[in-house]
Each structure stands twice: as structure tokens, then as C-alpha cells.
Amino acid sequence: MNCPHCDNELSELPLCYGIEAPHYFNLVPEEQRTELTGDFCVIDEQHFFIRGHIEIPIVGSNEKFIWSVWVSLSEENFFRANELLLVEGREEEEPYFGWLSTELSMYPISTLSLKTMVLTQEVGVVPLIELEQTDHSLAIEQRDGITMERVKEIAHLVYHV
């Protein structure tokens, strides 16, 4: 398949993109970082983050486009999420409030600090991230879905810009 914007060949069209660490992780000296795993991050023992997925429906398809992102949580909710990591039935947990802590540069307005709710899923599944319903283009995409052309545009921006 060729990228519709630059005509470069794409071997496949990914439906999930992710960031390895919260935006703020790279802004502090390394000696202040205390922990980064695939799903949790603590910075300077006072900033707590969890990784989750923003699912966006693809119009005309049963598939979803996914942003794998980081959300800051309160210390209490962060430790609660860790405590329930391997507990069956954890999906019954009330959602946690958080702030989006991933910058998705393909959006015209910053995605940092958008209000979110973190919905715990069954054991082995990363949390779902629901954005507050605002007029931010990412929130609109999560609510209304995106076309396959938009998925291709995102692939172009991720791989070629």
C-alpha cells in the first residue's frame, strides 16, 4: 500500500501507535527518575503515570484505531491500580481521573493535560482511556470515529514527518 500523501510504500497500515514513556519523563534528569516499566512510571517519587489505550472507532469497520498513551494519576489511584494488577474482577473498579501525559503532535492543539477517565480492564488487558468530551479534535475522533483515510494520514505523519 502506498501512503496517500507522499506515495512512499507502507508495508502495512498499523492501527496502534504508542509512546514509550510519559512526556515528562524526558524532561527530568535521569538520576531523578525512579521507575519506568511498560505500564507504569514514577518520576521523583511524586508523579505517577499509567499506560492505557485510547480507542477510536474506524467508520465503516469493526476495527478500532488505538493510541497507546500515558495518563497521570493521583498517588492513591496509582497504588490502587498496582495493587489490583493481578486481581480477578478488577474491571469492576470505579474509573480513575487522570490527565493525558502524552503529546500527540499530529493534532493542531496540544494533547497534554486533557482530562481523562482510566477504566480498568480484566487482568492482562491495559486500561481504556476515555477523554472528557470537549471540542479537542482527539476527543471528537474518540466520540465520532475516524475514516480509513485519516488512519492513512496518521501513518504518514508518524512515519514520514
Q: Determine the average pLDDT of the residues in 42-71.
A: 96
pLDDT band at 28 (very low <50, low <70, confident <90, very high): confident
pLDDT band at 156 (very low <50, low <70, confident <90, very high): confident
Residue 6 pLDDT: 46
**Cα(67)–Cα(52) distance, integer angstroms:** 8
Question: Alpha-carbon dihedral of residues 31, 35, 36, 38, nearest 10 degrees?
Answer: 160
Q: Residues 130, 117: contact at Cβ < 8 Å?
A: yes
Q: Residues 133, 139: contact at Cβ < 8 Å?
A: yes
At residue 50, does pLDDT exceed 70? Answer: yes
DSSP, residue by residue, 115-150: EEEEE--STTSPPEEEE--SSSHHHHHHHH-B-HHH
